[in-house]
């Protein structure tokens, strides 16, 4: 349905002082603090987890060498989504508007809606990180205490006991990350790089990472997390996280949290010959997800 003069009564009358409601600033692209972005020219992208070999055994004198097999473990699929929104304005509404170019004003609003949707979809990966109905290539949620390994064991990228963000829980998370193993149980050198938190935890995060001494204590001990440079990229606030006490640590594991841009946002317009209405449309294609759950460590809070 087209925007007509009935929806723009005040803009058609003299004496209007200001139009407002579409001029708010927006947050920066916060998805880039979470995901490694790549481009795609396909309907979907697949990434395959490979296993290496297990630990090498001791070979006794005169015995045959042991053979091991490498194989594919699972496949992570990224299926592109199409996001689009449009609006239409009647010919009369455009002609009779007294104060501004309607198309320019509402085209900016259209771009704002597209941008907001992208941030919500990106944050949804973390918002659903502990939900077993949103699974990855290994059939489990992003953050789990029992990610299965090819050797039959498991590893976790979630605290064994959910905890709110504090010095103790953050240190334990960094210890757990340092204990990550590959699909055959071999140690991997993965480190935390950046903490991702909702707006409710920004002050706690700043105290934990920026204090010279231990936060919240009367001791004269140094802040070990800061002194050791355990999170070199600090913390980032994501305003689209919905759980007020969930927190995450992004790691330097390759092919962890990823996004693919299939088609950049495009806008178009056309007039309708019969009605004279002018239609405006914005459209883009992308997807967010993860390949290796070692790319993040999280806690849903206590």
Range name among 14-23, 151-160, 173-182, 246-255 with the lowest pLDDT average: 14-23
* Neighbour-count burial for 144-157, b at 16+ CB within 10 Å, e otherwise: beebbbbeeeebbb
End-to-end CA distance of the chain: 47
pLDDT at residue 101, as a whole number: 64
38-96 pLDDT, tens digit per residue, is: 999 999 999 999 999 999 999 999 999 999 999 999 999 999 999 999 988 888 877 77
256-301 pLDDT, tens digit per residue, is: 999 999 999 998 888 888 888 888 899 999 999 999 999 999 999 9
pLDDT at residue 18, as a whole number: 42
Over residues 168-183, the mean pLDDT reads 97
Is the predicted pLDDT of residue 123 greater than 60, yes or no?
yes
Over residues 164-170, the mean pLDDT reads 96
Question: Given the DSSP bridges, would you call strands 257-271 and 296-299 parallel, antiparallel or unpaired?
Answer: unpaired
Q: What is the distance between the alpha carbons of residues 60 and 196, in angstroms, rounded to a whole number?
A: 50
Q: Which CATH architecture has domain 31-53+75-190+255-299?
A: 2-Layer Sandwich (3.30)
Q: What is the mean pLDDT of the chain?
A: 89
Give the helix/strand (H/E) hosting 116: helix 102-127
Question: Given the DSSP bridges, would you call strands 44-50 and 72-79 parallel, antiparallel or unpaired?
Answer: antiparallel
Q: Which residue has the higher pLDDT, 249 or 104?
A: 249
207-231 pLDDT, tens digit per residue, is: 999 999 988 887 789 999 999 999 9
Look at the pTM and tell me if it is higher than 0.85. yes
Report yes or no: 290 and 77 within 8 Å, Cβ to Cβ.
no
Over residues 163-167, the mean pLDDT reads 96
Over residues 27-43, the mean pLDDT reads 95
Question: Given the DSSP bridges, would you call strands 192-197 and 235-237 parallel, antiparallel or unpaired?
Answer: parallel
Using pLDDT thresholds of 50, 70 and 90, give the confidence band for residue 102.
low
- Choose among 302, 43, 78, 35: nearest CA to 193: 35
Is the predicted pLDDT of residue 3 greater than 70, yes or no?
no
Using pLDDT thresholds of 50, 70 and 90, give the confidence band for residue 1.
low
């Amino acid at each position: 349905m087209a925007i007509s003069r009935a929806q723009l009564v005040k803009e058609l009358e003299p004496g209007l002082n200001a139009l407002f409601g579409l001029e708010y600033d927006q947050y920066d692209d916060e998805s880039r603090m979470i995901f490694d972005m790549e481009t795609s020219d396909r309907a979907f992208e697949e990434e395959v987890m490979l296993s290496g070999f297990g630990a090498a055994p001791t070979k006794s004198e005169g015995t045959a060498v042991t053979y091991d097999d490498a194989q594919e473990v699972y496949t992570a699929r990224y299926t592109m989504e199409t996001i689009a929104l449009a609006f239409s304005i009647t010919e009369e509404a455009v002609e009779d508007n007294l104060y501004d170019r309607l198309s320019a004003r509402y085209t900016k609003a259209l771009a704002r809606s597209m941008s907001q949707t992208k941030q919500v979809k990106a944050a949804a990966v973390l918002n659903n990180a502990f939900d077993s109905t949103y699974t990855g290539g290994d059939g489990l949620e992003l953050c789990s205490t029992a990610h299965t390994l090819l050797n039959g064991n498991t590893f976790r990228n979630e605290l064994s006991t959910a905890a709110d963000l504090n010095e103790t829980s953050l240190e334990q998370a960094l210890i757990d990350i340092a204990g990550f193993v590959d699909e055959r149980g071999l140690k991997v050198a993965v480190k935390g790089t950046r903490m991702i938190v909702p707006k409710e935890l920004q002050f706690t995060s700043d105290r934990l990472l920026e204090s010279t001494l231990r936060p919240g204590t009367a001791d004269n001990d140094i802040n070990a997390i800061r002194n050791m440079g355990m999170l070199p990229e600090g913390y980032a606030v994501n305003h689209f996280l919905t759980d007020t006490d969930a927190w995450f640590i992004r790691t330097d594991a390759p092919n962890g949290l990823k996004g693919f841009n299939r088609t950049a946002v495009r806008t178009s317009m056309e007039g309708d010959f019969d009605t004279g209405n002018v239609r405006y449309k914005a459209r883009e294609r992308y997807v967010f997800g993860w390949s290796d759950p070692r790319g993040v460590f999280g806690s849903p809070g206590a």
